[in-house]
Amino acid sequence: MKRFPWDILLTLLVGLGLGLAYAWTISPRSLIDSEPVTLRADFKDQFRAAIAASYAATGNLPRAQARLDLLGKNDYAESLNAQAQREIASGQLQQADQLAALALALETGASLPPPITPTFDVIVPLVTEPSITPFPSPEDIQFVITETPIIESVETPFVPTQPIPNTATPRPTRTPLPTQGAPFRLTALDTVCDSNLPKNLLQVIVYDSNRRQLAGVKVIVAWDSGEDEFFTGLKPELGNGYADFVMDPGTSYSVQLGLGSEISTEITSPACQASNGESFNGGYKITFQQP
């Protein structure tokens, strides 16, 4: 009977272990000059957040787009909106605003105005050397002797002065501030009875004047005991101008946009009926558009 070559197998295992120990611990391979496209997903999020912060400070859209090209994807707005949604869920509202603003600029092509850098003019006073005028010599001074006239005192009659009337100075009045217009119009308010959607769902869609959906627009939902704010574009798979909110049954809500819009009031969950006769709470779809 032929014996199994345990010594050869043991030698191979020892050699494999020594090779792994050398490659992983003693002399691991170092990665140098790697591209951002090879980064991990969380490092890519940090890279995009840094690009959005730089764009918010400088307003340079071509530079931000060139930096995003290093990640090797063309759907920049979708990636930025998805990351903004994750930042809001983690409580990073400032980074979410910067990411949403960069996504909106990439979609519309409108850059932020560059920040104003104050300039200071340094005024250097002109220093001139004083000129010294020489005194005349004693020989050049001419003395003229004149008589001093005698001034006689003249009594002036006393005339009482009239008192100055005390007039009250009118106080400044406050000038009323102009009211802001409504750049968004409420174009549609539709009842949604779809049993496949979540119950009591309030959907908001925002369009620009060219009927393109706008991301990063603040939506304000208010009711008697509270208020909530959220942004469009946080669910890019449903549209860049899409946002939603789950209502409480029996509560009346009002909806408007943070940039100024017409206000939709008295919104409550409608009663709907499914095809099998079962009743359920439906929702609403509200559409805003720039004129």
Dihedral sign, Cα of residue 114, residue 98, residue 180, residue 232: positive
The strand pairing partners of 203, in sequence order, are 244, 285
Q: What is the CATH number of domain 185-289?
A: 2.60.40.10
Residue owning tokens 């959607």: 197
Per residue in 99-119, pLDDT tens? 888 888 888 876 555 554 555
Q: Report the range of poorest mean pLDDT among 48-57, 83-92, 155-164, 236-245.
A: 155-164
Structure tokens given for 213: 């959906």
In the chain, list all ranges with CATH 2.60.40.10. Answer: 185-289
Q: What percent of the chain has pLDDT over 90?
A: 21
**pLDDT at 228 (0 to 100):** 93
- What pTM, to 2 d.p., does this model score? 0.41
The strand pairing partners of 256, in sequence order, are 220
Cα angle 272-278-281, degrees, rounded to a multiple of 5? 35
Q: What is the DSSP letter of 139?
A: G
CB 220 within 8 A of CB 227: yes
Question: What's the burial of 152, exposed, middle or buried (CB within 10 Å: 0-12/13-18/19+)?
Answer: exposed
